[in-house]
Structure formats: C-alpha cells, structure tokens
Structure 1
Amino acid sequence: MRKNRLALAILLALVVGLMAMPAQWMPAEAQSKWQVEVVSGETRVVLTESDLNRMKPVSAKAAFLRTTGRIEGPALYKGVQVEEILKKVGGIGPGQAICVTARDGYAMTYSYAQVGGGILTYDGQQRALRIGGVTMYLAYESERDTADKLPRIVFMDKDKMSITDGHFWSKSVAKIEVVPGVDDWIITLDGQEKTSFDRATFESTITCPDTPHPGVKWETTEKDGSTSVYEGLPLWVWVAMMDGGDSAAGHYRFNDSLARKGYKVLVISKDGFAAELESSLIARNDEIILAYKKNGKYLSESDGPLRLVGGDLPSKKHQVKQVVEIKLQGI
C-alpha cells in the first residue's frame, strides 16, 4: 500500500512539474501546433513549422525599440523571408500590401516598401540610422520569445545585429494576406545602391526627433504675391541614400569624394521629364529641396507626391512636379 502511495505521489509530482514547465522548454511537438494561413485572392496555402524549416530559414540576432525608449534584445531569431513565403501565393507587387493578423484578431497592414525592408533602423543609443538594410522575416524560433508569441514578424540583417521599431514586430501570426496597396506613393532611388520607399516610411524619417537629417522649409513668393512655404528633405540627403557613402555604423553619409569627381542627378517626373543637376551644385545644399508639403498640407495631385523646389535651382524649369524617381548618372 505504501509503495502504491509513493508511486502515486511521484506521478503527481511529474504532472505538476510538466504543467509548470515554461512554454519555451516544452518539447518541439508541443510548441508546433500553430499554422499560418497565407492568402492572395483565391489562392491559399497553410504553413506549419515543418514547412518553414524546409524553406531555407535564416538565423540572426535582432532587437526592437519599444515606444518607451527601451531596446529589447538583441536575441537570436530563426525565420523565413516573408517575400519568399508570399511566392507560394503569387508574390507581391508595388501596388499591393500585406495584412498580418494575429491569433487574437489584431491586424496590421504593411506596405510594399515595408515588406521589402523599408523601415527605419537605429543604433545602440536609439539614434535613427537609415531606412532599409533589413529584411522582413516570419520567425518561428527565438531564444527570447515564448512559444505563445511565435511565429512573429521580425526585421533582421543576416550579417549583423539590427534594431528596428517594435511597432512592426507583429506576434502570434495566424494569417498573412496580400491586399490592395496602402502606399500613397513609392519613390525609386537608383545610384550605387538601389532602393525604394513610400510616404509612411519617408514621414517616419523626416519627423523622427532623433534623425540626423531633419526636414527643412523653403519660403517663396508666388506670381500672385502670396507666400508659400514648402517642407521636405534637401535633395543631397536623398542622394546620400544611394551614393555609397554610408558610415560603418549605418548612418547616411553624403559621399563628398564622389561628388567632387562629378556626376549628374536626374530628378524624374511621372510623365518622364527629367531635370538634370550637377553633383557640385546639390552637395550639402539645403536650398535644393524635394518637398512633400506646401503651407502645411500635402502637395496636390498635380504637384505631388514630391516636387523639386528651392532658391538654388538653376531655373524654374527645374521645379519638377510629380517626382517618382531620382537617378545618379555618370558615377
């Protein structure tokens, strides 16, 4: 009888111990009950952890910045690039976005540019670095997060630790759906580096209090005598995003050496018209601006999304409207 009681006590202790065991230490079979539904129109697939494991996952360290200002991490994450996952339902194009829904019903929409890694990154002192340089992954293993938070969206650089806004790190992902694009506009930058970003990403940079490249204003008198104030970023800052002059830490740095050698900057309109400027003219010149606002309001459809303005433009014909691309020529 005593032996039976002892055996029962041991069994109860084991059961209680297993119930108290943290989720991250549960056997893999117990952790992998989740599924992620991926949808685009009528096309639908359902993925499990085993499926993701067969898709050439990447492991890297990443951290995120809370709205309180605290950096969480870095921690090691393992996941699959979201763009690769989307290929299973036909991929994603410039006119599209994705809606990521969590198991509790919370949903967040990511623009095409954000899916491509076009979000703001930070250094260890919480200072803004640059847009891009990271990739969106669906992480399903983590040395930090408990199983109930996985899989989750993370932004990583497979070659080095990166820090991005925690706002973008959706957790407990249950569904990824390709939806009509939320991008108001996308600007293409074509130089030694190629990238693109949208209004949301641009504004997160220009309005960030810690950015090393704050926005500027330019005031001018119109033909009717009224005064207009344009807001935007100096053209040279845009050029710094693609001229190969970034610092080792990742901050945008204008490539003065390349500018002295000489090249042309083409600011291209929606209709194909291009204004041509010399690198020597735009170099660190805050009087040549790509504006997105006029008198506190977004540019009109006939002028926007961006317009080239400024007191140092060679002529009025250089005031390009409806800018969609900036290209470096002769580099």
Structure 2
Amino acid sequence: MTADGAPMRPTRDPRVTLDDLVEVLLNKGAVLHLDLIVAVADIPLIGVSIRAAVAGMETMLEYGMMRHWDEATRAWAERSVARRALDLREGERVVSRMSGGHLLTEGVCTGWRPGTVYLTDQRLVVLREEPRDVLWRTELAAVRAVRLEPERTVGGEERLRVRLALDDGRRELLSAREPETLHDLLTRACAGRLTPALPFGPPAEEEPPLAEGHLWYQEPRRSGPLWRGGRARLTADRLIWKSPVDSRPALVLATDTIAGVRRRSGRGPAGEGGVLALHLTGGDEVRLAADDPAAWARRLGAGRQQEEGEPACR
C-alpha cells in the first residue's frame, strides 16, 4: 500500500514505465511487506522478512518517518525540502512542518483547503504540494493573537483548530495534524509581539440547526449520477451534507441560493415520491431524497408542498 494507506494494485500495463514508478514513489511512496523462504530440495534453508517504506523525502518527513536520524541529518533534509517548497529567505529557519489546511471564506462560501503548514522563524505558510501553490501565508510580525478553538464537524466530531488574529483585523482559521503543538510553537515564535488583551470575541456558539438527519444526495459523477446516503445539517445560513466515509462535506449550499424546492414524482432511494429537487439561483439543480420529504421541503423554505410540474416556490 502507499504511505498514506491507500491500497496499490499490481498492473501489467505495458505502457507503464520506470518514470511512472518513480513518480509514485516520490509523490506517495510504498510500503513493502515481504516474507520469503528459500528452499532447496524441499528443505527450507533461508528465511527473509522485509518491512520497508520507500518514498520521496517530502513524503517521509510528512509522515514522521526517519525519526532515528540524528538531529543534524534530519535538519539538513528538512531545510532542503523547505527551501524548494518555500523559497526560504537568507537566514530563515524552518521551525515545524505538518499536514493541515486553511479555511477560505469568500462571501457566503467557505471551504477547507488542505495542504502542509510550514512555520518558520519569520512566516506561517499553508502550501499545497500538488499542484504547488501557496494557499495562505502571513508574516509572524503580523500575528497579534493565537488561540485553540474547538469546531464541531458535520460528522459530529469535535476538532481543535488554530485561530489567528492579524494586525489588519482579519481572523484566520487553520487546521493542523497537531494543533496544540502548532499553537505552542506559534506562541513562542511570536513571544513579545502578541497582544493578550486583543478582543477575539467570545468563542462563537454553534448555530443551532433548523433540521438535522439522514438524507440521500444524488452526487454528479463522470459515469453518471449516484445516490449516496449521509447526514444533512440545515441552519439559517447553509445546508451541509456529508457521507460518513468522506473526510469533508460533499455538499455545502448557502440557503439564500436556494430559489425553490419541488417534490418529484417517481421512485428514489427513500421510496416513491421521496425525491426533492432544489433549484438554485444560478440555474443548477440539486437532488436529495428523504424518508420525510414533506418535512424537509418545509424546512428548506418551500412554503408549501409541490408535485412535479408545479412552479418552484420561493
């Protein structure tokens, strides 16, 4: 399997070249488990047991491998990787590197952008490796306050995030594989520059849902739409749907983009007449299915139940 746990399957494709193998090893890596017995005349003579990980240096460092290296060798490898990724300044030193992400907020749309969080003695950067792109960055001199903030995910889990207050008034939210470690390192790196009295405001109380429960979502795919079961959460601002096997929501809709809701005739995964068609302001349509479609139609602001063929209501 690959270093990130995804299974690898053997292939006999004659078009696969050495370049393809090198690309897999550099970008994802491979874990080798080999048990071999060498026998002569049906007599076992030699036993071989190999457990090995083969990957590019960035992948090795990302997953915390090579911990047995001495500090100087590991620091040299990390500097080399960070220099290529960040274009380090003269004298700039990498303090920490871990997987994480940045919460992008543009108008009513929000979404996590995963990447790698780099903390140097001068900057904090969230970098996407493939394709390489700087998702977010700030100078440490611009950081005015840091705190850990719990966030309840759509799946019901509570995770710690790192909230930053910057000197231009922005409030940014980061995720990290080790949020407490990142918080402590940031606090030490910004020592003397943080403003303890800076008003973060009280932790935002989670908006109570107007409705929450099981829904099916017809996910568009290249091979054709596919019904998937998951959990939906409706608040005054947005509708979120997430499958229990997904790491992040597959559907996030601002409620003010829902122009209307129509009950569709026909059979869906919830039975006859259980499909709802959500008409969006941009002209798109999203289909959901519910065991109680009439209740969900009212919750989504339909105003009255409709059958297919009637105009969508606001």
Question: If the TM-score is normalised by the length of the shorter chain, which range does it land in?
Answer: under 0.3
TM-score (norm 2): 0.26
Whose strand fraction is larger, Structure 1's or Structure 2's? 2
Higher relative contact order (CA 8 A, sep 6+): 1
Whose helix fraction is larger, Structure 1's or Structure 2's? 1
